[in-house]
Amino acid sequence: MKERAERAIAGCRRIALMTEEMGRTTRRFLTEPTHAVHALLRERMEALGMRVAVDAVGNLRGLWLPRGAGEKRLMLGSHIDTVPNAGAFDGVLGVMLAIEWVGIAKELRLPLGIEVTAFSEEEGMRYGVPFLGSRAVTGTFDATMLKWRDADGVTMDAAMRAFGLDPGKIEDAAIGDDVIGFVELHIEQGPVLEAEGIPVAVVEAITGQTRLNLRFTGQANHAGTTPMHLRRDALAAAAEWITKVEKQIRKAATTTDPGLVATVGRIVVEPNAGNVIAGSAEVGFEIRYGSSAARHRWTKKLVGDAEAIAKRRGIGFEWTERLDQQTVRMDRRLSTMLKAAVNGCGYSVRTIPSGAGHDAMVMAAHVPTTMLFLRSPGGISHHPTESVIEADVEASLNVGREFLMRLAKEVG
């Protein structure tokens, strides 16, 4: 498996160079570098004898149908878009390993159909909503999103057409009842496996999350001539709220709600000039927790805090929900089979929840789904120093071999 592991890692590093920004890896939904990623993945898929196509939302999909395979197929995959200034392995490693799993199935002559999907969008960076690729595959893509615009004013519909796609055919991307399950391979993006010295783990559940956009609207004015008591500073209002969010969630996470996390990772200020009071501040907020009831309660509380701050400061306030994803448990049968494969390879069997969102949480509502995590050195992800250990990648391939043999036997 060493050669396969080396090839998968090298492929990830090559794809990391396919970027919108010189010197750092940034690849948003359907931007130009996606064409280069598709070309590399297509070459590898076709070399194995897979049939390859791109669906209407930009997912690259390769189908392996060996002789003797029935009508049903297993799906494997992950995403190929990134956050700004990303690492080389988040999402992409799962696609590279999925292709290697097909190579293993071919080598073993397993009569098992396999589809590898490189989801075009998972991160939500370009249009503020994640999982566009898996939404299309599961038939849950909301066509009203086609009117949404990115930071440059480009609608989603226009972006798809510029990439050579037909948004009118998105419904054709949906899977049917011929899919027996979905497996996503992914780096952990956290420190648990490293702390325990374990190469891989089976994901038991993916934590739910809520994402909001909040907008504070004040009055832009001259910074030198407007007295402090007469200002309607939108940025100051947003900053007060952000500080309050951190203080409250930090306290709750150590007392009443262990594991609760909330983040403000984006703020857009207008006119964004050093000598002008901010007229508006738009904030991107997300909150994640295993309990949906507690997550919703905190969301309501924090939005109420924002409204109160805005009212006291004479600031306008509005908010919109961009995502409300429930906590999703993985399929028991497939997860048990994956744990048996881990054990069969001689590795410690560890189950772990995922605090990060994945395409698997969308797929799980429509088809039996499980995930395999690989150790993240330093617990680092969404950063250029993101890395993997070659031996862990080999471990995931060994587990894949065991898993595919067990599944082929059961399906057959």
Say whether pLDDT at 261 is over 80.
Answer: yes
Radius of gyration of the chain from its Cα atoms, rounded to whole angstroms: 23
Q: How confident is the model at residue 68, as a pLDDT?
A: 83
pLDDT tens track for 104-117: 999 999 999 999 99
DSSP string of 250-264, one letter each residue: HHHHTTTSTT-EEEE
Beta bridge partners of 200: 374
Average pLDDT over residues 245-251: 98
pLDDT tens per residue across span 104-150: 999 999 999 999 999 999 999 999 889 999 999 999 999 999 999 99
> Which pLDDT value is given to residue 77?
97
| Number of Cβ within a 10 Å radius of residue 131 | 25
pTM of the predicted protein model:
0.82
pLDDT of residue 144: 95
* Main-chain dihedrals φ then ψ at residue 181, nearest 5 degrees: 170, 170
174, 139 Cβ separation under 8 angstroms = yes
List Cβ neighbours of 230 (8 Å cut-off, separation of 6 or more): none
As to burial, measured by CB atoms within 10 angstroms (0-12 exposed, 13-18 middle, 19+ buried), residue 294 is: middle
Six-digit token string for 359 = 């395409």
Q: Span 208-325: which CATH code?
A: 3.30.70.360
pLDDT for residue 323: 87
Between 322 and 298, the more confident residue is 298
pLDDT tens track for 360-376? 999 999 999 999 999 99
Pairing of strands 208-217, 316-325: antiparallel
Lowest mean pLDDT among 57-61, 194-198, 204-208, 234-238: 204-208
Q: What angle do CA 339, 344, 348 make, to 5 degrees?
A: 60
The fraction of the chain above a pLDDT of 70, given in percent, is 100
DSSP 330: P
State the first-to-last Cα distance of the chain, in angstroms, to the nearest integer: 26
Q: 338-350 burial by CB neighbour count: b if 16+ within 10 A, else e?
A: bbbbbebbebeeb
pLDDT attached to residue 341: 98
**pLDDT of residue 178 exceeding 90:** yes
Specify the CATH class of 2-206+328-411 in words: alpha beta
Q: Give the tens place of pLDDT for each residue, 39-85.
A: 999 999 999 999 999 999 999 999 999 988 888 999 999 999 999 99
3-state secondary structure of 217: strand
Cβ(402)–Cβ(344) below 8 Å:
yes
Answer whether 235's CB lies under 8 Å from 281's CB. Answer: yes
Distance between CA 70 and CA 210 in Å, rounded?
40
Q: Look at residue 412 in the predicted model and tell me its pLDDT.
A: 66
Tell me, rounded to whole angstroms, the distance of Cα 74 from its chain centroid.
20
% of the chain surpassing 90 pLDDT: 92
Using alpha carbons, select from 395, 308, 410 the residue that is nearest to residue 100. Answer: 395
Domain boundaries, the chain: 2-206+328-411, 208-325
Cis amide linkage into residue 271, ω under 30° from 0: yes
Residue 173: DSSP 8-state: G
In which band, very low, low, confident or very high, does the pLDDT at 325 lie, cut at 50, 70 and 90? confident
Report the candidate in 102, 93, 166 with the shortest Cα–Cα distance to residue 136: 166
Report helix, strand and coil shares of the chain as percent, to nearest 5.
40, 25, 35
What the block records as the tokens of 79 is 């995403």
As given in the structure block, the two tokens for residue 57 are: 């939302």
C-alpha closest to that of 24 among 16, 32, 34: 16
Q: With contact defined as beta carbons under 8 Å apart, do 380 and 154 qualify?
A: no
pLDDT in tens, 275-293: 999 999 999 999 999 899 9
CA distance linking residue 412 with residue 43, whole number of Å: 30
Using the structure block, give the residue that is written with the tokens 């200002």. 231
Tokens of 6: 């080396």
User: Over 70: is that where the pLDDT of 227 sits?
Assistant: yes
Distance CA 359, CA 121 (A): 9
Asked if residues 316 and 216 have their Cβ atoms less than 8 Å apart, the reply is: yes
275 CB neighbour count, 10 Å cutoff? 7
* Average pLDDT across the chain, whole number: 96
Place of tokens 């059961």: 410
Structure tokens at 50: 């897979």
Which residue in 131, 125, 127, 134 sits closest to 86, CA to CA?
125
Beta carbons of 101 and 397 less than 8 angstroms apart? yes
